[in-house]
């Protein structure tokens, strides 16, 4: 408190003016351009808040007070729009506070310069400072604004949606409220909570198994095709690359047809006098068939890229290591376990983490393979027994407009993938021994 | 005989116009409308919005078969001097009025089934229309209007104009009938194949097909997991979807009455067909070709896809378009056995004693029609388009292009002179054997649980073959399955509400 009193006692009247109206102090110091910039910004921001900013912030908290009657033509509020505009107004308010602080700091800086007997900085000098000693701030300004508008704002919006009752029957013109209902439904042992637990379990299993499977197959193919005694390795390498080059959804649609009830596999089973199998159909017996097919199709699409990546990494291993190991009597498997695997894992840990996150959120595989399947047999709520959280999220929010639950699940997915990725990364050799292979 | 039947149906249509259509409907005389009605209808002041372009969202088949282009061209020509026109939207363009409408996207006029349109009426995304002053009002039966009725402050409003009646019809190709049907499969000598008169006879014929030596591999083949068509089996024996004529979602009646008997027959069919393709919802699109290729003799689907069958028939090279049109037949679905067992009675007995051994089959149906978006900038131009598209001339033309049965009695009577099917459909609607799909939002929670139940039911015959335990071996187990289905639907409704 004393510091503030001392500061206010010390501040010259120009600084006090800047504290009252942004830019006035700078103008009084003769910093015309800078002063006009702050003053114009102050004017624009003030006008914005007078005309709509304040009401938008109030709307953010109320989410609307008047319900529109479209039939009688009585205007009303739109909760979703009020949430977006309110959030935007809050961001503008934060920006205004930051700008105000820089304005005061700048006025104080100029006052201190004068007190120290130094000349007041001209606008050109300010620009030079921005391009030189404060270049880091200038360079980062545009990305920070971009990230705020295009990343942070939508993420915060999504987080906020999770704390409303928007969706289901509460859609425009009905008004929404702030609510924990979505979280209660997920955390409760009701239909949504039960389905969430089942899907989460399968989702984690899927992410771990598919990442491991893709890595093992990809590395295996790379090792195999790296062997000198494999003839025409370039030719063989072309086949997985072809699978990689074909758009993923084309492969998925192809596999869906192959495993469908009228597809060639069931046709030949039928011709051979065997029972047709429910591979992807909405039947309890199809659960593990469909999951297995999903893993297979995902491996088909992904392993070529792992193979190509590990082929590059393998070519970087110093062959002297193998010669030395062989001289020491190490077997082929021991050489793989002690030299190849640590080197490859060290180099690929960040990629494996991104693969894990990608697989955890792998929307396409089951969206294409089992479109329209809802496994009511096991009390899945608006989900199939092969759906991942991301597929369920889609069905809840896009197919059924259940936005708040969808947003809550998005947040949970984010937390799980972020925590697992970070935990794995900080424990990995790639993080702990960053300099080892440099 | 056919001509006499057609004339009788046409006369009955006219009777419907004179009696049924105008009997129970609200008073439409100008002086009796309420203040609320006037307030709601204020935007329809008859002043066409100069320069307005009405965006119309129609269904795929109507677009594909050229009807929509014809309709829009005719409207544009008719309204050229009034300064308004219409254009077609693609089906995938902003077809969710609730999410797209408030932001200025979406159609002005939308053609859809009543259940889809009316789910938007609940939240006022569709406008109530001044139906009493429309030319088509007196021509459309009350049951069709009810599909678009909704309440506001205790007053009934109509948010759509019924255009055509949809319900399951049995399709077959006449030239694929067995050569001996007149001697072997017409025991009642009425000139109709017996297997199209009762499901018991159709089952027997399908069994004969299975043994080989018939014109087709299968007799009757259908997607037994399709709720829309299969719910008719449950309804015939006392089941219903929602109580109070489909308006009370707290009363779910799929397990009511003796609906389990209907479910038992679905299971019998699945076992008889012994084809896992019928468990997949891709079957419906494959059915056109299967019928044309002679894989099956008959199947049940809606009248609006008759052109798809004709197209498939022509694609085989065995028919010209005219020949295909003449050879493809669409008739009312057969009657179901009172015993609710497709093998309990001798099929000949069911045909000879139809009144005592069989009951008329109830089918789920829908009323497709036009609605106008609440977000339209040109309500009067949109209404002008809807009036034009629901006129007598366009209803007849729509039938010519698409084979659909109009909801207008005058158009139905005209078409029935040549095509008895349309008259039959209209008659079934009038007699209550078409149960109109409920038009409340909660209907959305019916389809997936019901499909899951039907899949379980239809795969049950395979479980024994696979050495798995059967789920629905007894009537009690089927009843429990239906009750579980009702619980699932209720849970879904309550969870999302």
- Between strands B296-301 and B218-220, the pairing is parallel
- Chain B positions in Cβ-Cβ contact with residue A400 (cut-off 8 Å): 444, 496
Q: Is B294 helix (H, G, I), strand (E, B) or coil?
A: coil
The reply to whether A242 and A374 lie within a common domain is: yes
Backbone φ and ψ for B105, nearest 5 degrees, come out as -105, 175
Confidence band for B162, pLDDT divided at 50, 70 and 90: very high
Q: Does residue A30 belong to any structural domain of this protein? A: yes
How many Cα neighbours within 13 Å face the side chain of A395?
A: 25
CA angle B323, B324, B326 (to 5 degrees): 65
**What average pLDDT does this structure show over B214-220?**
92
DSSP conformation letters of B1-17: -HHHHHHHHHHHHHHHH
Place of tokens 């938007």: B120
Residue B286, min C-alpha distance to chain A (Å)? 10
What is the residue-averaged pLDDT of chain A?
Answer: 89
Q: How far is CA B191 from the centre of its chain?
A: 27
What CATH number does the domain located at B167-362 have?
A: 3.40.190.10
User: Do both A217 and A362 map to the same domain?
Assistant: yes
Nearest to A262 among B127, B277, B455 (CB): B277
Q: Worst-scoring range by mean pLDDT, A207-211, A230-234, A344-348, B160-164? A: A230-234
Of B125, B276, B495, the CB nearest to A191: B495
For B117-140, b/e burial (b = at least 16 CB within 10 A) is bbbbbbbbbbbbbbbbebebbbbb
Residue of B96, B122, B448 to mutate for A, most A C-beta atoms under 10 A: B448
Give the pLDDT score at B344: 94
The per-residue pLDDT for range A391-411, each reduced to its tens digit, is 998 988 877 778 898 899 899
Q: Please tell me the predicted confidence (pLDDT) of residue B18.
A: 43
Residue A378 in this model has a pLDDT that exceeds 80: no
Choose between B206 and B438: higher pLDDT: B206
pLDDT one-digit tens code per residue, A40-69? 999 999 999 999 999 999 999 999 999 999
pLDDT mean over A127-134: 88
A260 and A383 both lie in a single domain? yes
User: In the prediction, which pLDDT does B25 show?
Assistant: 47
The dihedral region occupied by B155, where left means phi > 0, alpha psi between -120 and 50, and beta the remainder, is beta
Report, in angstroms and rounded to the nearest whole number, the Rg of chain B calculated over CA atoms. 23
CA B97 to chain centre: 23
Residues 6+ apart with CB under 8 A from B385: B54, B56, B75, B86, B108, B109
Q: A56: which 2 tokens?
A: 């938008």
User: Which residues fall within 8 angstroms of residue A45, CB to CB, at 6 or more apart?
Assistant: A53, A92, A96, A99
Q: Is residue B5 predicted with pLDDT exceeding 50?
A: no
Answer yes or no: do A400 and B496 touch at CB < 8 A.
Answer: yes
Q: Is the pLDDT of residue B20 over 50?
A: no
Tell me, yes or no, whether A149 and A265 share the same domain. Answer: no
Whether B277 shows a pLDDT value over 50: the answer reads yes
- Total domains in chain A come to 2
A241 and A205 within one domain: yes
CATH of B2-159+366-430, one of 3.40.50.620, 3.40.50.300, 3.40.190.10, 3.40.720.10: 3.40.190.10
Q: A435: pLDDT confidence band, cut at 50, 70 and 90?
A: low
CB atoms within 10 A of CB A183: 16
Domain boundary at A151, A179, A207, which? Answer: A179
Is B451 part of the contact surface with chain A (CB cutoff 8 Å)? Answer: yes
**pLDDT for B497:** 62
Q: Which helix (H) or strand (E) holds B134?
A: none
Domain boundary among A154, A179, A204: A179
Phi, psi dihedrals of residue A18, rounded to the nearest 5°: -65, -35
Which contiguous run of DSSP H or E holds residue B359? strand B358-359
Q: A129, A152, A179 — which closes off a domain?
A: A179
What CATH number has the domain bearing residue A292? 1.10.3720.10
Cα gap A367→B410, rounded to integer Å: 47
A87 and A198 fall within a common domain = no
- CATH 3.40.190.10 segments of chain B: 2-159+366-430, 167-362
Q: Which residues of B touch A261 (CB under 8 A)?
A: 276-277, 279-280, 282
Distance from CA of B387 to the nearest CA of A (A): 20
d(CA B396, CA B405): 9
Q: How confident is the model at residue B226, as a pLDDT?
A: 92
Q: Is A243 exposed, middle or buried (0-12, 13-18, 19+ CB in 10 A)?
A: middle
> Could you tell me if residue A81 is inside a domain?
yes
Shortest CA gap B451–chain A (Å)? 9
Strands B363-372 and B161-167: antiparallel
B269-286 burial: b if 16+ Cβ within 10 Å, else e: bbebbebbbbbbbebbeb
Distance from CA of B492 to the nearest CA of A (A): 8
Looking at the complex, report in whole angstroms how far the Cα of residue A87 sits from the nearest Cα belonging to chain B: 19
Residue A241 shares a structural domain with residue A379: yes
Q: Are residues A171 and A244 in the same domain?
A: no
Residues A226 and A79 in one domain: no
Q: Which domain holds residue A241?
A: 186-432
Residue B164 pLDDT > 50, yes or no? yes
Tracing tokens 């629905």 back to the chain, one arrives at: B472
Token pair for B366: 């829908």
Inspect the interface and report whether the beta carbons of A376 and B99 lie closer than 8 Å: no
Residues A154 and A229 in one domain: no
Measured from the Cβ of residue B169, the count of other Cβ atoms closer than 10 Å reads: 25
Residue A412 shares a structural domain with residue A343: yes
Chain A within 8 Å of B316 (Cβ-Cβ)? no
Residues A155, A235 share a domain: no
Question: Where residue B269 falls among pLDDT bands split at 50, 70, 90?
Answer: very high
- Which tokens hold the place of A116? 């120290």
The whole-number pLDDT of residue A407 equals: 92
The answer to whether residue A95 sits within a structural domain is yes
With contact defined as beta carbons under 8 Å apart, do B301 and B171 qualify?
Answer: yes
In a domain, A438, yes or no: no
Cβ neighbours of A190 in B, within 8 Å: 495
pLDDT band at A296 (very low <50, low <70, confident <90, very high): very high
- pLDDT over 50 at B9, yes or no: no
């Amino acid at each position: 408190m004393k510091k503030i009193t001392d500061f206010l006692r010390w501040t010259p009247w120009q600084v006090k003016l800047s504290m009252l109206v942004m830019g006035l102090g700078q103008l009084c110091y003769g910093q015309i351009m800078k002063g006009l910039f702050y003053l114009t910004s102050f004017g624009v921001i003030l006008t914005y808040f007078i005309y709509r900013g304040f009401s938008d912030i109030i709307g953010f908290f109320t989410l609307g007070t008047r319900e529109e009657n479209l039939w009688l033509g009585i205007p009303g509020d739109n909760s979703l729009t009020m949430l977006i505009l309110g959030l935007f107004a809050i961001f503008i308010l934060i920006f205004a506070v930051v700008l105000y602080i820089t304005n005061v700091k700048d006025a104080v800086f100029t006052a201190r310069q004068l007190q120290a007997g130094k000349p007041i900085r001209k606008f050109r000098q300010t620009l030079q400072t921005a391009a030189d000693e404060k270049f880091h701030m200038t360079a980062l300004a545009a990305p920070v604004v971009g990230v705020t508008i295009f990343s942070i704002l939508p993420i915060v919006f999504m987080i906020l949606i999770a704390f409303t009752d928007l969706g289901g029957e509460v859609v425009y013109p009905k008004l929404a409220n702030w609510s924990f209902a979505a979280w209660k439904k997920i955390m409760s042992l009701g239909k949504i909570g039960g389905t969430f637990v089942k899907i989460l379990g399968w989702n984690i299993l899927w992410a771990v198994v598919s990442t491991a499977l893709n890595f093992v197959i990809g590395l295996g193919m790379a090792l195999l095709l790296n062997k000198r005694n494999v003839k025409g390795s370039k030719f063989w390498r072309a086949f997985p690359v072809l699978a990689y080059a074909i758009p993923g959804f084309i492969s998925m649609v192809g596999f869906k047809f192959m495993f469908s009830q009228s597809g060639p596999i069931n046709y030949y089973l039928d011709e051979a006098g065997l029972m047709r199998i429910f591979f992807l159909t909405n039947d309890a017996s199809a659960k593990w068939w469909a999951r297995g097919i999903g893993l297979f199709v995902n491996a088909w699409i992904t392993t070529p890229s792992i193979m190509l990546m590990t082929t590059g990494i393998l070519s970087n291993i110093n062959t002297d290591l193998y010669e030395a190991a062989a001289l020491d009597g190490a077997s082929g498997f021991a050489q793989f376990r002690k030299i190849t695997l640590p080197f490859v894992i060290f180099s690929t840990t960040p990629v494996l983490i991104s693969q894990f996150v990608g697989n955890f959120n792998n929307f396409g595989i089951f969206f294409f393979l089992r479109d329209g399947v809802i496994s009511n047999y096991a009390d899945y709520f608006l989900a199939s027994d092969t759906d991942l959280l991301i597929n369920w999220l889609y069905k809840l929010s896009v197919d059924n407009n259940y936005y708040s639950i969808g947003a809550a699940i998005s947040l949970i997915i984010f937390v799980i993938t972020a925590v697992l990725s970070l935990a794995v990364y900080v424990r990995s050799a790639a993080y702990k021994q960053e300099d080892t292979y440099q | 005989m056919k001509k006499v039947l057609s004339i009788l149906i046409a006369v009955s249509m006219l009777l419907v116009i004179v009696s049924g259509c105008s009997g129970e409907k609200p008073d439409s005389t100008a002086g009796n409308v309420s203040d609320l009605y006037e307030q709601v209808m204020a935007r329809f002041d008859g002043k066409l919005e100069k320069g307005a372009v009405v965006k119309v969202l129609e269904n795929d088949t109507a677009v594909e078969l050229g009807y929509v282009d014809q309709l829009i061209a005719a409207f544009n020509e008719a309204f050229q001097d009034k300064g308004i026109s219409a254009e077609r939207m693609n089906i995938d363009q902003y077809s969710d009025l609730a999410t797209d409408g408030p932001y200025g996207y979406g159609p002005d006029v939308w053609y859809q089934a009543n259940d889809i349109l009316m789910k938007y009426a609940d939240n006022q995304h569709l406008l109530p229309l001044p139906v009493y002053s429309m030319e088509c009002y007196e021509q459309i039966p009350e049951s069709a209007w009810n599909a678009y009725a909704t309440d506001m402050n205790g007053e009934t409003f109509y948010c759509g104009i019924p255009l055509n009646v949809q319900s399951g019809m049995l399709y077959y190709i006449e030239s694929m009938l067995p050569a001996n049907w007149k001697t072997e499969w017409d025991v009642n000598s009425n000139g109709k194949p017996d297997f199209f008169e009762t499901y018991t006879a159709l089952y027997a014929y399908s069994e004969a097909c299975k043994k080989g030596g018939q014109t087709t591999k299968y007799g009757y083949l259908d997607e037994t997991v399709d709720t829309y068509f299969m719910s008719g089996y449950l309804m015939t024996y006392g089941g219903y979807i929602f109580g109070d004529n489909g308006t009370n979602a707290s009363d779910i009646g799929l397990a009511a009455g003796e609906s389990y008997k209907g479910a038992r027959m679905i299971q019998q069919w699945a076992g008889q067909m012994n084809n896992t393709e019928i468990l997949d919802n891709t079957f419906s699109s494959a059915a056109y070709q299967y019928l044309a290729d002679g894989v099956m003799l008959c199947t049940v689907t809606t009248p609006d896809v008759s052109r798809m069958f004709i197209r498939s028939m022509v694609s085989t090279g065995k028919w010209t378009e005219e020949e295909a049109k003449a050879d493809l037949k669409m008739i009312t679905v057969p009657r179901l056995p009172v015993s609710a067992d497709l093998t309990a009675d001798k099929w000949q007995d069911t045909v000879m004693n139809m009144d005592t051994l069989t009951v008329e089959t109830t089918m789920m149906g829908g009323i497709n029609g036009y609605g106008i978006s609440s977000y339209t900038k040109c309500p009067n131009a949109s209404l002008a388009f809807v009036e034009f598209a629901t006129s007598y001339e366009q209803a007849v033309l729509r039938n010519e292009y698409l084979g659909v049965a109009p909801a207008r009695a005058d158009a139905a009577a005209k078409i029935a002179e040549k095509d008895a099917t349309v008259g039959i459909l209209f008659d079934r609607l009038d007699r209550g054997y078409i149960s109109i799909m409920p038009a409340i939002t909660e209907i959305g929670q019916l389809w997936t649980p019901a499909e899951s139940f039907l899949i379980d039911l239809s795969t049950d015959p395979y479980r024994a073959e696979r050495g798995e335990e059967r789920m629905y071996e007894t009537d009690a187990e089927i009843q429990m399955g239906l009750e579980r289905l009702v619980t699932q639907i209720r849970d879904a409704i309550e969870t999302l509400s």
